[in-house]
Amino acid sequence: MIIDKKLVIPYRVLVLIAYVVFITLINIHDFESIKSVGYYGIHMVAIALYLMYTDNRAKLCKVLYYSASILTIYGILQEFGYILGISAIYDPTVWGFYRFIPIPLFQGTIRIWSLYSEPAHLAGILCIGILIGLLGIEDKSHEFDFTNKIITFLMFVVIMAGVSATAYVGLVVTLITWLLISDIGRKYKAYAVAGFVGLFGAVFIIFRDIFYSIVVYRIAGLISEYNIVGNGTTFAIISNFRVALLKMKELGIFGTGMDSNRIWYYDYVDRIYGADAIYMNADDAASVFTRVFSEFGIIGFILLAALIVYMIIKGVKNKDKFLMIMVALFIIEGMRDGTYVNVVLSIPFAYFIGLIAL
C-alpha cells in the first residue's frame, strides 16, 4: 500500500515474502532461482500498484473481454478457414505462430485452438469473457456496457468446439461464480443451473463420440493412467503431481523453493516411471496449484487455498464482482498453467495480495 507517497508492505505480506525467500535460499540450486524471486517480486509490485486504482480495474475487465472477443472471432474464422481449405486463415503457423496440428472433430471440422497452442490454455480468457458477458446482461450501472450478447454466446461455442476437459471444468467454475455474484443468478439459481446442464448435455449427446473419446477419456485417465505413461495432457498433470507428492515424502512439507520443480522433475520422473518416462511441463508443473505444492510444500499449498477461500468469502459478502472475476480467472487459468509470470495468473494473484495488505 502507499502511505505518504511511500510503498509500505504490511506484516501479513512480509510473512508470505519471507517464507518464499527463506525456502528458496535454503534449497538454492542455481542463480536462476534467485533471479526468479526478484523478477516475480518486481512483476507483482507493478501489477498491484496498477490495480490500486478503481478505473484501472474497469479497464482490465474491458481488456479481458476484448481479448476473449478477438480470440473468439479468430476461432470462428479458423473453423471456416479449415472447412474452405484456406490454410492462411486456419493455420497460425503461416504467420509464424506455434506449430499447429489440426485435430478433426466431425464432417470436415476441427477442434478450435484460436491463437493458443492448445484449447486448455484458451479456457481461462474465454470463460472470463463469458462471465463478464453474463454480468453485462443485467448491468444497470453501465459497468459492463462494452459487452455483446452475440459475442458472448460465440465464446461458449468456441469453448465447446475446443473439446477440452479443462475448459469444461472452467465453464462450471464460471457458472458457480456467476450464481454467487449475479442478482439474476441468485434469484433464478435453479433455472440457471438447469439451463446450463441442459445446453451442455444436449451438445454432449449430439457429439457424444467426440466428447467421450477426448473429454471422458482424459478425465478417467487421471485415475486409470496414474501409474502409466498415457495421454500427454493427462501425463503432464499426473507426473508433476506425483513428483510433488514424492518430494514432500522425502524432502519435507516445506517444499524446495521457487523455480525448483524444473530441477527435481527429471530425476523423480525417471524413478517413478522408469524406462517409459517422458518429460512434460517440468518448468511450470502443468498447474499453478501443483507447482506451489511442489516448490513450497503442503504449507504453501494450504496458504494458497486459504487465500482463495478468503477472497471468495470477501467477494460474495461484499458483492464484489471484480474480485470474483479475478478469483475465477486464477482458478481456471491455474488448473492448466503454472507459469508464475503468466500475466493472466499474476494479475489476480497480485490483486489478492494487495487486498490482504489493506
Can you tell me the mean pLDDT for 279-307?
Answer: 90
Q: What is the DSSP letter of 274?
A: G
pLDDT of the residue at 3: 47
CA atoms within 13 A on the CB side of 254: 11
pLDDT, greater one: 175 or 203: 175
The tally of domains found in the chain comes to 1
277 belongs to a structural domain: no
When comparing pLDDT for 157 and 234, which is higher? 157
Please give the share of the chain, as a percent, with pLDDT higher than 70: 78
Q: Where are the alpha helices (DSSP H) in the chain?
A: 11-26, 31-51, 54-84, 87-90, 119-137, 149-162, 165-181, 183-187, 189-206, 208-211, 217-224, 232-251, 261-273, 288-317, 321-334, 343-357
The pair phi, psi for residue 7, each rounded to 5°, is -80, 115
* Cell numbers describing residue 108: 470436415
pLDDT exceeds cutoff 60 at 238: yes
Answer for the pair 228, 265: CB distance below 8 angstroms, yes or no: no
Would you say residue 256 lies in a domain?
A: no
- Average pLDDT of the residues in 15-23: 76
Domain that holds residue 32: 2-222+286-357
Grid coordinates belonging to 112: 478450435
Read off the pLDDT band of 338 (50, 70, 90): confident
Instruction: Round to whole Å and give the CA distance between 214 and 118.
Output: 13
What is the pTM (predicted TM-score) of this model?
0.85
pLDDT class of 306 with cuts at 50, 70, 90: very high
| pLDDT of residue 239 exceeding 80 | yes
Look at residue 274 and tell me if it is in a domain.
no
> Is 192 inside any structural domain?
yes
Mean pLDDT on 8-32? 71
Q: Return the pLDDT at 221.
A: 57
Does a structural domain hold residue 14? Answer: yes
184-205: average pLDDT: 70
C-beta separation of 193 from 175 below 8 A: yes
Distance of alpha carbon 266 from alpha carbon 285, whole angstroms: 12
Cα separation of 211 and 209, whole Å?
6
Residue 256: partners with Cβ closer than 8 Å, 6 or more residues away:
23, 27, 247, 263, 264, 294, 295
- Distance between CA atoms of 119 and 116, rounded to whole angstroms? 7
- Structural domain contains residue 87: yes
What cell does 307 get? 487465500
**Residue 261 resides in a domain:** no
pLDDT tens readout for residues 56-106: 888 888 999 999 999 999 999 998 998 888 888 888 777 776 666 777 777
Q: Please give the pLDDT value at position 165.
A: 79
Per-residue pLDDT at 128:
94
228: in domain = no
Residue with more model confidence, 43 or 183: 183
